[in-house]
Structure 1
Amino acid sequence: MVNRPLDISRLPTADGLALSVETRHAAGDPVLLFAHGFGQTRGAWAGSAQALAEIGCRCVSFDSRGHGESDRLANGDYHMDQFATDLALVARSQPRLPILVGASMGGLLGLVVAGEMRPSPFRALVLVDITPRWETAGVERILAFMQAHPDGFADYAHAAEAIAAYLPQRRERKTEDQLRPLLREGADGRLRWHWDPALLAGVVSESERYQPRLMAAAAKVDVPVLLLSGGRSDVVSRDTVNEFLQLVPHARHVELPAATHMLAGDANDAFTREIAAFVGELDRHDAPTGAVAN
């Protein structure tokens, strides 16, 4: 196993915030840019990013605004276009066109950026258990969990218990070290999630009316696309996947049968293998005639 160096930096946005960006194996090629889901942090990608850096990729992950160690908006006025602009900014800060790996919200933002911005700042897209139209019941379950503990938790054990109830398919509970990046201690000593509560009022309220725009953007995506879905997901379904494949006929779909919507966490090894295979196919396709792909 190769121990790849990790660098954490701050990337300023046009509206005065700073995004926390983590890079593994800065000299690697190709570039993989990981965009997390709503309410997550860049830490959601740690296992996959480390494994893919070890096989030679430059792996970049970041906390979206209002999440993790990135700045929050003082007025709490969050909108989806801000997140899309931030994603394009991180992509264009890379030395080469990145392959986007986007989960849930991160994948939807990738569709908007890839479909609407020309030239596209991505070499290819990997969408992780998300389609332009989703199953409302699954999203409502996620939001119910996010809204369930407005007063936070008394301690890390209480938070671990809540996560275990939400993710019963996980065999191991989160440790205190794993929970520290996900929680902040308030002045009252209570532990609360790392994300800005104002996000629930802004971005979530826009999501349903974004669907026509997402459908239109998907139809314009002209880079290679891999859709990875969980066989036990309640956010995407056979119907939403088939609809997406009609919109993007050049996309390839792979289902991981044992995984839920939390694909990277439920089946990290299989998830990482699929990304590595996709990257290998891209490299072979782009190799000059007569060249031997590594």
Structure 2
Amino acid sequence: MTITPETFTISGVGGTRIVADRLGDPDTPAVVFLHGGGQTRRSWGKAAAAVAERGWQAVTVDFRGHGESDWSPDGDYRLVSFAGDVREVLRHLPPRPVLVGASLGGFATMLLAGEISPGIARAAVLVDIVPDMDQSGANRIHNFMADRMQTGFSSLDEVADMIAEYNPHRPRPTDLNGLRTNLRRRGDRWYWHWDPKFISNTASLPPSEVADVDRLHAAVETILGGDVPMLLVRGQMSDLVSQDRADDFLARFPQVEFVDVQGAGHMVAGDRNDLFADAVLDFLVRHAV
């Protein structure tokens, strides 16, 4: 098995260069991890390793405008474009992978597997996202991402302080070098890695589909109608998917399995990777072997 991630690139929608990592045997069934807005493929490191150790091929993707993938030259950050990029990644993998999508990645999973290419996935995991998310939680995330987006930071300590204020339940890291994967250095300052157009509402084609709850519900219905197993993993302290929002989603789609991760907020895999990985592996063993 490949211990060190193998990095590969593909050409996404409109020729945008998309960067991904692979752990494990490229001939084995794939579990494809899709990060949330403002994150990178590195956010899945421990979960991807746990999945690869169990014999799967774990693939982590940097969305357009994030991490090491290209920023869209024409400001195309529609959900259908994120989903289309993922479809291009899947052309290089064994058929019918499992899709694991957090937040933005979950929305992309819904549209890809439920609208653009029904039947493309053998199973789907939504990580702290439902079509009818709590807008106040979404606003809090947006405000965090927008703050200091233009001015940047003078040091990694400043970055760590801001993250600690946003996520007080997560211990402040003692080794700050890990933060470098979420930043870009310009001159003597650090800036978030994402394209400011993505979060500042100045993109020519923004991800407006996130507000079309009916469309996203229809996509989920199509996925489940194709007998594709689905798991919703919620962070118990999430302000994006409240217990009420999760209950409403599960009442609408009772065939969806549900795991509530204690001690985790919206960033479930980062907050409690052990519990998150166990939940995903249990789901894979029962539904996707």
- Could you tell me the TM-score, scaled by structure 2's length? 0.92
Q: Which amino acid aligns with 2:78?
A: H
Is the contact between residue 92 and residue 121 of structure 1 (CA under 8 Å) also seen in structure 2? no
- Structure-2 residue corresponding to 1:166: 166
Is the contact between residue 5 and residue 25 of structure 1 (CA under 8 Å) also seen in structure 2? no
Matched residue count: 282
Query: Could you say if the C-alpha distance between residues 77 and 99 of structure 1 is closer, same or farther in structure 2, counting changes exceeding 3 Å?
Result: closer
**Counterparts of 1:118 and 1:166, CA distance in 2:** 36
Of residues 159-168 and 198-207 in structure 1, the stretch that sits farther from structure 2 once superposed is 198-207
**Counterparts of 1:13 and 1:118, CA distance in 2:** 15
Shift of 1:181: 1.0
Q: How does 1:1-294 map to 2 (within 5 A)?
A: 4-27=3-26, 29-149=28-148, 150-173=150-173, 175-186=175-186, 188-200=187-199, 201=201, 202=203, 206-222=208-224, 223-283=228-288
**Counterparts of 1:134 and 1:230, CA distance in 2:** 13
- Could you tell me the TM-score, scaled by structure 1's length? 0.90
For residues 22-45 of structure 1, give each alpha carbon's deviation from its aligned partner in whole angstroms, at most 9, with x where no partner exists.
Answer: 000134633100000001000010
**Counterparts of 1:245 and 1:151, CA distance in 2:** 42
Kindly report structure 1 stretches of 4+ aligned residues shifted beyond 6 Å: none
Shift of 1:92: 3.1
Is the contact between residue 215 and residue 247 of structure 1 (CA under 8 Å) also seen in structure 2? no
Is the contact between residue 77 and residue 198 of structure 1 (CA under 8 Å) also seen in structure 2? no
- Structure-2 residue corresponding to 1:290: none
**Counterparts of 1:56 and 1:226, CA distance in 2:** 20
Is the contact between residue 218 and residue 247 of structure 1 (CA under 8 Å) also seen in structure 2? no
Helix, strand or coil at the partner of 1:15: helix
> What are the ranges of 5 or more consecutive residues in structure 1 without an aligned counterpart?
287-294
**Counterparts of 2:2 and 2:46, CA distance in 1:** 13
Shift of 1:248: 2.5
For residues 70-94 of structure 1, give each alpha carbon's deviation from its aligned partner in whole angstroms, at most 9, with x where no partner exists.
Answer: 0112232422221111122222321
Identity of aligned residues (%): 37
Helix, strand or coil at the partner of 2:264: coil
Of residues 257-266 and 111-120 in structure 1, the stretch that sits farther from structure 2 once superposed is 111-120
Helix, strand or coil at the partner of 1:52: helix
Of residues 127-136 and 202-211 in structure 1, the stretch that sits farther from structure 2 once superposed is 202-211
> What are the ranges of 5 or more consecutive residues in structure 2 without an aligned counterpart?
none
Q: Which has the larger radius of gyration?
A: 1
Shift of 1:157: 1.1
Query: Could you say if the C-alpha distance between residues 77 and 278 of structure 1 is closer, same or farther in structure 2, counting changes exceeding 3 Å?
Result: closer
